[in-house]
Amino acid sequence: MVVRCNAIAAPERPATKAPSHSPIIMNSQVLHSITQERLDLVKTLGPYLETQVLPLLRTGAKVWQPSDFLPVSSDPDFEDQVRALRKRTSNLPDDYLVVFIGDMITEEALPTYMAMLNTLDGVRDETGASPTPWGQWTRMWVAEENRHGDLMNKYMYLTGRANMHAVEVTIQNLISSGMDPKTENNPYLGFVYTSFQERATKISHGNTARHALEYGDEVLAKICGSIASDEGRHEQAYQRIIDVLFEKDPNGACLAFYDMMKKQILMPAHMMDDGEHHSKTGRNLFADFSAVAEKTGTYTAFDYADIVEYLNRRWRIAERRDLTGEACEAAAYLEKLPDRMRRLAERHNARKQKSKGDAAPFAWVFDRPVELL
């Protein structure tokens, strides 16, 4: 039996070593960092995907669609339905709208996320219509996710509460900018990222559902709840992929988890830009959107710490006796990380009290100022 080391400091070496040839460096990160041995392992996982991951997708006539939640445009009383929707949403405060719109813009950037998955070595859809389990998963996952932005966008348009031109500019700019989650074309790192990120979006949509109910919009609560349910299934899919990597290559999986936690998980929309916010305020739009999400309790630094703790439990980081060397040291770092992050969040919250009342105008809500703290 391997005895767990008692390391205190975290290792500073990369979580996954690049192949023996010279590494390719771009934007300060190593590209194609997975070793050949681990790439070969990933390529054996097709049958596992077929039995453990693909069944988490929803297919068939009973799958919900955006039109199930929206006024029916062909109905004679369509205008009455829209008026009822506008009455329901009239109580939604601007900070709720900013968070909902930011989440919606994130969901609308789906082409970027599909492109990111197709950069990962060993799992990409090589033809655009590959029959492999990896190709099927990527396309069907994107198809499920695509409903989220469609529904949220149409609902927000019908409310009349948002500056849709500013929202659309932000969506176009975000898709144009792409995303850089620092996953190095490495499926180990990529699926740790998605394991975390899908759980984060589930939490955010679940909280917007709860808040919508508090503000009297039961339909919007059902919308956000349905989206959160999808994210919950997708979270399980990606975490199952890392489950099997921990089973077959515990050192590699643990080092990949450590690597992404050291880098910190950036949300997919971290490059959002409406073309106005910075010039008007001198501030970063994504940072201000995140501040509003934190202020409203929709997604906070404590949620981030809770996700790390959840993944530690799921992957039995504290219990593992199959780790050696750097992976053993990485596990020691991961065990302590949630508490460390909570202490940092508490100190950050204490400092924020000095700036309480700070606000910024958001073009999404016609430049009305929204409190950030």
Catalytic residue numbers? 64, 107, 145, 148, 198, 201, 230-231, 234
DSSP of 85-111: HHHHHTT--HHHHHHHHHHHHHHHTHH
Q: Is 198 annotated as a binding residue?
A: yes
Q: Is 107 annotated as a binding residue?
A: yes
The answer to whether 184 is a known ligand-binding residue is no
Q: Is residue 290 a contact partner of residue 99, using CB atoms and an 8 Å limit?
A: no
| 231 assigned ligand-binding residue | yes
- Which of these, 266, 338, 268, lies nearest to 308 by C-alpha position? 338
Pick left, alpha or beta for residue 284 (phi over 0 → left; psi -120 to 50 → alpha; otherwise beta).
beta
What is the 8-class DSSP label of residue 79?
Answer: H
Across-strand partners of 369?
361
Q: Which residues contact 22 (CB under 8 A, 6 or more apart)?
A: none
**Binding residue per annotation — 346?**
no
CA distance 282 to 347: 25
Three-state secondary-structure class, residue 23: coil
For 268-284, letters b (16+ CB in 10 Å) and e give bbbbbbbebbeeeeeee
Is 145 within any annotated ligand binding site?
yes
Give the number of other Cβ atoms within 10 Å of residue 118's Cβ.
15
| Residue positions forming the annotated binding site | 107, 145, 148, 198, 231, 234
| Residue positions forming the annotated binding site for Fe cation | 107, 145, 148, 198, 231, 234
